[in-house]
Structure 1
Amino acid sequence: MFRLSFLLIILLHLAVTGLSADEFSRHDFPPSFIFGSGTSAYQVEGAANEDGRTPSIWDTFAHEGKAQGATGDVACDEYHKYKEDVQLMADTGLDAYRFSISWSRLIPNGRGPVNPKGLQYYNNLINELTTHGIEPHVTLFNYDLPQALEDEYGGWINQRIVKDFTAYAEVCFREFGNRISYWTTVNEPNVFVLGGYDQGYVPPQRCSFPFGFNCSRGNSTSEPYMALHHILLAHASATRLYRNKYQGKQHGYIGISIYAFGVVPLTNSTEDVIATQRASDFLIGWVAHPLMFGDYPEIMKKNVGSRLPVFTDHESKQVKGSADFLGLIHYSSVYIKDNSNSLKQEVRDFNADMAIQLVNTLPDNTSAYEFPVQPWGLRGVLEYFKQVYGNPPIYIYENGQRSLRNSTLEDMSRVKYIHAYIGSVLDAVRNGSNTRGYFTWSFLDVFELLDGYGSSFGLYYVDLNDPGLKRYPKLSAHWYSHFLKGNMINSDYVFKLNNNLSTLCHTHCFQ
């Protein structure tokens, strides 16, 4: 424990004190390094009630008014506009596009017959991408469990989900795998279960008092651990199927993604240093430890006790080594303060078990709505994976700047953010990180889970007032395209972008 805590502090100190590269081009990265952007099914597709698709838990959540009264019924309507969007991707210069498959569009009842219209849509999208030389990176589950399975047996809190998820995954491997090289089973399960089963602010909104928000069912003290345990078993089962039946002829790779803050101790006290390591074990190790070592971190087993599920010897062997790569989701960094007193509470949830406080300290001139530009946090996370988990292949599947959603295309804060974070990835790669790809979130301004259309992350603005949902490039789209096409990037180019918006827009910007 002390040795790992000390290691963590040294690594993050190096990350904090080191400036990220400012001048670079994509040619500074390895030739095989992939740059892309992403979305997810419910956030972008629309057509929620068309062609046989049935509701997911995300539909239910949104229609109950939980996303600021907005829904993904139409979203960006990529279901009908996928050809236009793929052309935009090609024009931008993307190597790859990360998207998710809607389980309830492909298999409306969660298991059983495949929906031919859903199958046709994903075949069309994949074919359109490959025709334009854009590599599909596919996620099987992104918060959108079929409501039918949630109603039938409680979804992820029931081990029956392992069989149903594996069967769903096999349909995807069988039907699409000849054109897919990168599969992600589940998107950021650590955040999904904390939001969905501990605090209850995302679907399926299960939690218990006093830990959650307006939940009518659930148990915050145990269900997050149960749900993530079953996710790991489902991931391992799908991986075993893929490796035994499909990987040899399809030659693809399969992984899972993890949400990771950059973490730094609030003070240099021993207590905060140890708490920072504890935070990493709970937030990252919860998923990464079983994948790498076959079991949960020791501090989790100690603090959580009997509420933490136990892997059988067989399950441990199946989970260990079940990821060919890890997807990394990273947006911001937090400071950690020890809160060991929480371990004395008679009833505890995940946050009390972790025994820390997350402290946000915003730099001067930083909007409270936007993420502070702290690229050292991402570099520190990559270094942490290298040192603690044996430097696995990593694809940064989400990284981007949040802003209020409006009609401006002058998203200079997003340009500066992406510039700085790609520079930090370059530094990490030069320092030996096995990072193999970087994807911005998101390609378009999509429906966001927590606030619907109140915030945006997109390179392209979608005009919701236009019946055709016209797309408009922001400054960030121009910056990313310039970079992707091999041009040198530096601070001078960033400022030049800002000063030449009217020239860059041509006919694509607002009239």
Structure 2
Amino acid sequence: MSSVAWHVQFEGAYRADGKGASIWDTFTNNHTVFPGGRTVHKNDTGNVAVDFYHDYKQILLLAKQLSAKQWRVSVSWARIYPQGDGVVNQKGLDYYKEMVDFMVAIGIEPVLTCYHWDLPQALQDRFGGWNSEDIVPIFANYTATLFEALGESVKYWTTINEPKTFCWEGYGSGIHAPGIKEPEQVANCIVNVLKAHAAAVKVFRKVVPGGMIAMNLNAESSLPFDDSSEMDKAAAQRKTDFELGVFADPIYFGQFPDSVRARIPYLPEISPELAKDLKGSFDYFALNHYTSSYARFKHNATCVLGITDYEVGHSNKDGFVIGEEGDSEWLYSVPFGFRMILNYVNDRYRLDWISVTENGFQVKGEDDMALDQVLNDKPRIKYLEDYIKNAVEAVVIDKVPVSSYFVWSLLDNFEWQDGYSKHFGVVHVDRATLKQTLKASARVLANLFQDAGNN
């Protein structure tokens, strides 16, 4: 278990070599105001980020130095198809070919994600992006281009990263691009993601024989606010149904969870044809996990999708705080929750293989610290050591088939609505110069990864 991850939060070069505009380019450069009146922190953009586009060789060599065996890379759709479809931007496609070839040459295995939230703006303008079924054949065409160009060099793929986040926050709360706040659009986004995934996998099976594909799903462990309350236990399960089950259940069982269908009347049905196409479309389970939370029953409580009958918090009925706070209101260190969610997905979906494709922590207040404090990131070290220990226990004791683990992230980078104010990196990046400096956690990870490689 020894890998690191990056994606378009790193890439920068937002209009270089023919790249088109994405919804995040528009959202940040136009300083879009969220519902509630705030914008991206300090009007930050991903225009430069850590400039991976121009500096990828040095950054990949740094990952190699830190004993990474795999590198998770996401493609910017608008760099391949500036208008979403139509004519391929050959310079963009060549860039990813060269980068993948370099990874292979230095002994790092590429793991490629086709979509990580940066929809070409042209598709949002034409038909509403993920709200419309029109996106399905266009996504299939886009992914076919990637499979054909990179399939000989890349064995492990995912179609779409964290659809729960971009459906909920992009089309429900409006705090992510494209900044829409309509529950029905969240529901449509969910179904169109499933259709797009199924369509892409059909192409994948023909173009990349022997390849492995999944979709990155993010999930917390959900604990009952009162563990003696059957209503709270049901609320905790319902939270998991709403956030994970709406994507995983259709893949494995052919339908949405009953608890979601009972509360969201405008959630489209999974047709028999779609259920058939989704069956077997995960060759492994790609899990992103950061934290855990409590859920309690509350009649008519809502989320951006609609009525849920649960509310979420980080303290239980006894006032016990679930773990050490990170630097975001949603992030707490709950190591035992990692083992719990690994067991949950394995028990529910009867898996052959789980890849943990994101896991990481922000040190509280890091943005305001002096550099020497930033580099001595003991809370991040403790988080990573404790989470990895729980993953190992899940494998050794519980027999959960975890085969790979990716830390989010190698470098401090653009963190969506938080701009550059939140830091997941094990390497500090000076925003003025882009100079990279290893934090203590980077050295700890290098040792852990080296040990894993020797066993």
TM-score, structure 2 length as denominator?
0.92
Q: Residues 279-298 of structure 1 correspond to what in structure 2 (within 5 A)?
A: 279-298=239-258
SS at match of 1:436: strand
1:95 aligns with 2:75: no
- Counterpart for residue 404 of structure 2: 437
1:266 aligns with 2:250: no
- Counterpart for residue 376 of structure 2: 410
Describe the shift of the 1:263–1:89 C-alpha distance in structure 2 as closer, same or farther (beyond 3 A).
same
Partners of 1:482 and 1:366 in 2: how far apart?
24
Letter in 2 for 1:399: N
Describe the shift of the 1:50–1:336 C-alpha distance in structure 2 as closer, same or farther (beyond 3 A).
same
- Counterpart for residue 207 of structure 2: 246
Partners of 1:472 and 1:172 in 2: how far apart?
33
Task: Give 1:325 shift.
Answer: 1.4
- Give the % identical residues: 34
1:478 aligns with 2:437: no
Q: Which of 78, 98, 101 is the matching residue for 1:104? A: 78
Letter in 2 for 1:171: T
SS at match of 2:327: coil
Task: Give 1:89 shift.
Answer: 0.9
Describe the shift of the 1:95–1:79 C-alpha distance in structure 2 as closer, same or farther (beyond 3 A).
same
Q: Which of 113, 117, 132 is the matching residue for 2:106? A: 132
Partners of 1:241 and 1:313 in 2: how far apart?
20
Partners of 2:74 and 2:152 in 1: how far apart?
17
Partners of 2:115 and 2:357 in 1: how far apart?
14
Partners of 2:343 and 2:112 in 1: how far apart?
26
SS at match of 2:263: helix
SS at match of 2:2: strand
Q: Which of 16, 23, 40 is the matching residue for 1:67? A: 40
Q: Residues 137-176 of structure 1 correspond to what in structure 2 (within 5 A)?
A: 137-176=111-150
Q: Deviations over 1:88-130 (max 9, x none)?
A: 0111100111120000011111101111211121111101111
The answer to whether the Cα contact below 8 Å between 1:385 and 1:392 also exists between their aligned partners in 2 is no
1:233 aligns with 2:195: yes
The answer to whether the Cα contact below 8 Å between 1:47 and 1:79 also exists between their aligned partners in 2 is yes
Letter in 2 for 1:247: V
Q: Which of 146, 160, 185 is the matching residue for 1:223? A: 185
Letter in 2 for 1:353: I
5+ residue gaps, structure 1, are 1-33, 208-218, 343-347, 489-511
The answer to whether the Cα contact below 8 Å between 1:39 and 1:446 also exists between their aligned partners in 2 is no
Partners of 2:452 and 2:345 in 1: how far apart?
30
Q: Specify the structure having the higher radius of gyration (Cα).
A: 1
Partners of 1:256 and 1:300 in 2: how far apart?
21
Task: Give 1:303 shift.
Answer: 1.3
- Counterpart for residue 339 of structure 1: 298
Partners of 2:131 and 2:154 in 1: how far apart?
30
Task: Give 1:278 shift.
Answer: 1.3
- Counterpart for residue 35 of structure 2: none
1:360 aligns with 2:326: no
Partners of 2:109 and 2:166 in 1: how far apart?
26
Task: Give 1:392 shift.
Answer: 4.3
- Counterpart for residue 395 of structure 1: 355
The answer to whether the Cα contact below 8 Å between 1:375 and 1:424 also exists between their aligned partners in 2 is yes
Q: Residues 345-384 of structure 1 correspond to what in structure 2 (within 5 A)?
A: 350=304, 352-361=306-315, 363=321, 366-367=324-325, 369=327, 371-384=331-344
SS at match of 2:416: coil
Q: Deviations over 1:114-170 (max 9, x none)?
A: 112111211111011111111111111111000010001111111010000000000
5+ residue gaps, structure 2, are 32-38
Q: Which of 259, 267, 271 is the matching residue for 1:299? A: 259
The answer to whether the Cα contact below 8 Å between 1:373 and 1:420 also exists between their aligned partners in 2 is no
Task: Give 1:409 shift.
Answer: 0.8
Task: Give 1:294 shift.
Answer: 0.9
Partners of 2:323 and 2:287 in 1: how far apart?
28
SS at match of 2:96: helix
Describe the shift of the 1:128–1:259 C-alpha distance in structure 2 as closer, same or farther (beyond 3 A).
same
- Counterpart for residue 424 of structure 1: 390
Describe the shift of the 1:434–1:367 C-alpha distance in structure 2 as closer, same or farther (beyond 3 A).
closer
1:455 aligns with 2:415: no
Letter in 1 for 2:426: L
1:58 aligns with 2:18: no
Describe the shift of the 1:322–1:424 C-alpha distance in structure 2 as closer, same or farther (beyond 3 A).
same
CA RMSD of aligned residues (A): 1.8
Describe the shift of the 1:479–1:167 C-alpha distance in structure 2 as closer, same or farther (beyond 3 A).
same
Q: Which of 290, 311, 316 is the matching residue for 2:270? A: 311
1:257 aligns with 2:194: no
SS at match of 2:441: helix
The answer to whether the Cα contact below 8 Å between 1:142 and 1:187 also exists between their aligned partners in 2 is yes
Task: Give 1:353 shift.
Answer: 2.2
Letter in 2 for 1:394: I
Q: Which of 262, 287, 294 is the matching residue for 1:328? A: 287
- Counterpart for residue 345 of structure 2: 385
Letter in 2 for 1:316: A
- Counterpart for residue 7 of structure 2: 40
Moved more, 61-70 or 85-94: 61-70
Partners of 2:59 and 2:401 in 1: how far apart?
30
The answer to whether the Cα contact below 8 Å between 1:225 and 1:309 also exists between their aligned partners in 2 is yes
The answer to whether the Cα contact below 8 Å between 2:356 and 2:404 also exists between their aligned partners in 1 is yes
Moved more, 442-451 or 403-412: 403-412
Task: Give 1:360 shift.
Answer: 1.3
Task: Give 1:378 shift.
Answer: 0.9
Partners of 2:108 and 2:225 in 1: how far apart?
43
